[in-house]
Amino acid sequence: MNDFDDAADPELGAACNRLAAWVLPLPVGAVIDEKSGLTEDDLVLILRRLHATRQNVQIEMMSMEEAGRRYGRPSVPLTAKD
């Protein structure tokens, strides 16, 4: 699996490199967590998708209040409860 050293977010890139190093020696299709059904295939899929998007511009983090001010109320009508 390719490394994440050129990721836009170096912290996420380093975490992905560590996860990839942990996943690589697992047998194909190995079950990681039986309760959730998480498998080695799931982790590989996630890592591949993250690798494909690793150079995207970092997403701006904002609070719910800031998002509300910036983007306004949702279009879902609010109803009063009696």
- CA-CA-CA-CA torsion sign (12, 17, 20, 22): negative
With residue 14 as reference, give the H or E element that holds it.
Answer: helix 10-23
State the Cα–Cα distance between residues 46 and 81, nearest whole angstrom. Answer: 42
Tens of pLDDT, residue by residue over 12-69, are 889 999 999 999 999 999 999 999 999 999 999 999 888 888 887 556 677 888 877 8
Q: Output the six-digit token pair for 37.
A: 């059904």
Whether the predicted model's global pTM rises above the 0.95 cut? no
Residue 52 CA, distance from chain mean position: 12
Q: pLDDT at position 73, please?
A: 62
3-state helix, strand, coil in the chain (%, to 5): 45, 5, 50
